[in-house]
Each structure stands twice: as C-alpha cells, then as structure tokens.
Amino acid sequence: MTPAPSTAELAARADTLLNLHHRQAPVVLPTAWDVWSARFIEEAGFEALTVGSHPLADSLGAADGEAMSLEQALEAIARITAGVDIPVSADLESGYDTPPAELVERTLAAGVVGINIEDVVHSRGAMRSAQEHADYLAGIRQAADQAGVHLVINGRTDVYKHTGDFKDPLSETLHRLHRMEEAGVDSLYPVGLPSEEVLSTILAEIRTPLNVTAHPEQGAVPDGLGLARLTELGVSRVSFGPLLQMTLAEKASGVLDGWK
C-alpha cells in the first residue's frame, strides 16, 4: 500500500493548485473517476485534475447525490491521488453530513488538496441557506488551516438549477457567492448559468476566482463559450463534470457497435 503523503507534501500540492487559479489563462481540470483516467489526464499534460462525484459514482455502480458513502468515495479517491503526481481536487458533494473538521481530516488523509462543496444537501433534498453554507465552508477553511494545508475550496451554489425557488436567481446567486467569499473559499462555482451576460455580471461583482463547467448540458457554461472566450471574460477555472466519461462512452459505443 502506498503510504499517505506527508503534511509537507500535501501543503506543497495544495499551494501548486492554488497558484494555478491566479494566472492569466484558466486552469483546466479534467475530471477523473479511477486511476486509469487520472493517469490519462496527467499524461496528456494537464497540471491538475478533479474527481467528479457523478463519474466516480457511475464507476462504483452508485447514483450521484451521495448514494455512495463518504468512505467509498474517499477509498476510490485515495487510489487516484496515489496514482498520479499532479494535485487532485475532489467533489465531495454537500459534505456527506460530515462535520467540517472530520471531513477535512479524512479528505487530506486520502491525498486530496482541493475540495468542491455544494449547497444542496442530498439527505434533506433541499438547499442550505446562504449563511449555513458559508458557515460550513468557513469550518472547512478553519480545519484545513489548523492541519497546516491550504485545502483549495471550490464553493458551489445550485441556485440556477433551482430557479423556481427564488424570485431573483441572479441576486440570490450573488448573495451566496459573497457569503462564500467571506468564508474564505478559493474559487466560486455557480452552476447552471443561462447566458454569457449573467456570467459577465457575476465576474464583475466578485473578487474570487470563478469556476465554470466545460460542458453546456451540465449547465455552467453558456453554449459556445470555449477556452479563448472564457479567458477573455476572466474565468479562472474550468472543470469537466462528467464530460470526459460521457465522451469516451460515446466513442466506445461506436467501437462496440461494429462488433455486434
């Protein structure tokens, strides 16, 4: 078994990941779900990667939305972090109802140096309030600081996936983003943005690096916005969601169809 990385090693990887968010071009984080896909991403020349909850759940035969346990997720993620040399950020959904200090301890033990946390609590089937979500993220920041690792926190809000719950989704999104900024997150991730105009408005209102998804059907990049345009707009981070896994599945279907 590969030994767990030391605090110094984790801190160095976390600093590398954080610095990638503060350059002219966005850091692009393809999403892995196992060691093979992670090594494929690393060998393709990417400087960091994410482990997505949806692709990981699919690889384990579970549904997205915390249907797998935190233990199952972290066990699989630990194999990935041990299999590559680049920093790994993990999507841990809404935190699996785990207190911040415990979540950070277990996340770092798995070799993870970045964490994505959303405001939809799956065990409740409802969103956290803006302040509750900010408080949870602030707890993660405090616990990581105490551990001596600047865990790179990507704070996600799903307001635009639940527009029927809000009279003014843009105003609510900005409110939540500002609360997350105050909580000390390193990047902000409002999913489901409907247009470039909304994206531009948000970019003008925040100080923290912004994450979008490189897959329009997953709802965070308005259709037609490629890397060049996202760079012009000032986006700092692009993650893949299930894009890579879905694309490979489509390609594999074509191969298999020829042998039926």
The model's pLDDT over 100-156, given as tens digits with 9 standing for 90+, comes to 999 999 999 999 999 999 999 999 999 999 999 999 999 999 999 999 999 999 999
Predicted confidence (pLDDT) at residue 218 exceeds the cutoff of 80: no
> pLDDT by residue (tens digit) across 26-35?
999 999 999 9
User: Which domains are delineated in the chain?
Assistant: 7-249 (3.20.20.60)
Lowest mean pLDDT among 186-190, 207-211, 238-242: 238-242
Confidence of residue 219 (pLDDT cuts 50, 70, 90): very low
Burial per residue of 216-236, b for 16 or more beta-carbon CB atoms within 10 angstroms, e otherwise: eebbbbbeebeeeebeebebb
Q: How far is CA 184 from CA 77, 137, 258, in A?
A: 24, 8, 52
pLDDT at 217 > cutoff 60: no
pLDDT at 246 (0 to 100) = 87
The Cα 116–Cα 153 span in angstroms is: 6
Residue 216 above 80 pLDDT? no
Using CB atoms within 10 A of its CB, is residue 98 exposed (0-12), middle (13-18) or buried (19+)? middle
- What's this model's pTM, rounded to 2 decimal places? 0.94
Q: What's the pLDDT score for residue 1? A: 55
Residue 26: DSSP 8-state: P
Please say whether the beta carbons of 100 and 139 come within 8 A.
Answer: yes
The first and second tokens of residue 35, run together, are 């060691």
Residue 159: helix, strand or coil by DSSP? helix
Nearest to 157 by CA among 123, 184, 124, 180: 180
